[in-house]
Amino acid sequence: METFDLTLIWAFIIGFGVIMYVLMDGFDLGVGILFPFAPSEEDRDTMMNSVAPVWDGNETWLVLGGAGLLAAFPLVYSILLPALYIGVFLMLSGLIFRGIAFEFRFKARTSRYLWNWAFAGGSTVAAFAQGIVVGTYIQGYDTANGVFVGGALDWLTPFTVLTGFGLLAGYALLGSTWLIMKTEGRLQEWAYKLTLPLLAAVLIVFGIISVWTPFIDDMVRDRWFSNLSIIWVLPALTLLCAFQIFRSVRNRFEGMPFVATMGLFITAYLGLIVSRWPYLIPPDYTLWDAASAYNSQLFLLLGLLVVIPFVLVYTAWTYWVFRGKVRAGEGYH
């Protein structure tokens, strides 16, 4: 009866959704993280204008991911969300604040500084919380009989705090390279200056995580060190991307730093996936353990196949319409 392995198709869809979310919300969260440090209020306007037309689609992927997980991999939904209970609350609050701040800042005058703080604070909290999610994924979850049995603060360990800061730096790097691409003059100069220190911070955290992880988990250690395999291409590509960022910033390229940062994220993400494959809820449950019923996966897939291309076209169209530089005083009033 089951001609296709729908679970694998769904794993691809959700995996694709996650990286789309990370890259796209990543740079606009990054802009939010860098927001308080901008040289002037006028530059802050420009920063916001640079993401205003496109940040809308980003939460699309988060909500779709949440609902899609419930439909296709309910066990992920019912173990990760309880395990990350407080963290999920912090992330959602952060996202709500920055979303609302985004809209009202444009309409506000005297209360603008309040929305500035809400935007920056919300972005920072949301990014840090997402970094913690990554950390717990590497760390694994305390489960028994398909339910989370750990404590309320299991997600808060030195390791997850490190991954939290790692993603914070990573998103800030996406943000700064985005600003290099989309702005000019003083703001672009500022973004150029930030990029290399941020890159250094990201690499240091990545380095510590890479050394630390094999000590946390035997499976990850075996996968990487038991025999030298093709997967070492991924960290090699990550380093290549890092070098590319360094080189392109030194040469004052405008688009390449952002493209290379996306490459850095994608290769690191793939590295994380191969470390854990086929476990979706480490250390106990694989993709197939976590999957919903075949006919439920099929029922939703039919609708999704119609809509995903549509969302992609819409997204691409939005970026196309708003291509090019954002200048001070343009866009919002």
Partner 1 sequence: MELDPLILSRIQFAFVVSFHAIFPVFTIGLASYIAVLEGLGFKTKNPVWMKLSSFWTKVFAVVFGMGVVSGIVMSFQFGTNWSNFAQASANFLGPMLSYEVITAFFLEAAFLGVLLFGRDRVPAGVHLFAAIMVATGTLISTFWILSANSWMHTPAGTELRDGVFFVTSWSEAIFNPSFQYRFAHMVIASFLTGGFVVAGVSAWYLLKGREVEANRKALSMSLWLLLFLAPAQAVVGDFHGLNTLEHQPMKVAAMEGHWETSKNVPLLLFAIPDKANQTNHFEIGIPSLASLILTHEWDGEILGLNEVAPEEQPPVAIVFWSFRVMVGLGLMMILFAFVGLALRVGDRFWRTRWFLQGMRFMSITPFIAVLSGWFVTEIGRGPWLVYGMMTQAQGVTPSLTGGMALFTLIGYIIVYSMVFSAGVYYMMRVLYVGLEDDYDEEPDQAERPKRPLSASHVPFELHEDSKFQPVNHGDH
Q: Hey, what long-range contacts does 88-93 have (CB within 8 A, 24 or more apart)? A: 88/129, 90/125, 90/126, 90/129, 91/125, 91/126, 91/129, 91/130, 91/133, 93/122, 93/125
Least distance to partner 1, CB of residue 105, Å: 9
Q: Is residue 86 near partner 1 by the rule CB under 8 A? A: yes
* Smaller CB separation from partner 1, 77 or 137: 77
Per CB under 8 A, the segment of 64-72, 174-182, 200-208, 270-278 that binds partner 1 is 64-72
Cα torsion angle, 155, 156, 159, 160, sign: positive
85 lies in the site for partner 1, by CB under 8 A: yes
Contacts of 78 (CB under 8 A, 6+ apart): 146, 147
Least Cβ distance, residue 188 to partner 1 (angstroms): 20
Q: Which two tokens stand for residue 247?
A: 């080189």
Query: How many other β-carbons are positioned within 10 Å of the β-carbon of residue 190?
Result: 20
Subset of residues 267 to 326 that bind partner 1, contact rule: CB under 8 A = 292-293, 295-296, 299-300, 303-304, 307, 310-311, 314, 318, 322
Q: Which of residues 133-162 bind partner 1 (CB under 8 A)?
A: 146-152
Q: What beta strand segments (E) does 134-223 contain?
A: 143-144, 147-148
Return the residue of 117, 243, 319, 332 that touches partner 1, per CB under 8 A.
332
| Peptide bond preceding 283 in cis form (omega within 30 of 0) | yes
In whole angstroms, the minimum distance from the beta carbon of 301 to partner 1 comes to: 9
Q: How far is the CB of 64 from partner 1 (least distance, A)?
A: 6
Q: Six-digit token pair at 97?
A: 């604040």
Residue written as tokens 């003083």?
186
Q: How far, CA to CA in Å, does 275 sit from each of 81, 131, 221? A: 22, 17, 9
Residue with tokens 């530059």: 43
Judged by CB under 8 A, the residue of 59, 184, 189, 217 near partner 1 is 59
Rounded CA-CA distance 71/17 in Å is 14
Report the residue from 1, 3, 110, 230 that binds partner 1 according to the rule CB under 8 A: 110
Provide, rounded to whole angstroms, the least separation between the CB of residue 251 and partner 1. Answer: 31
Q: Is 21 in the site for partner 1 (CB under 8 A)?
A: no
The one segment of 66-74, 166-174, 190-198, 210-218 that binds partner 1 by CB under 8 A: 66-74
Nearer to partner 1, 105 or 276 (CB): 105
Binders of partner 1: how many residues, by CB under 8 A?
71
Tell whether residue 89 is a contact of partner 1 (CB under 8 A).
yes
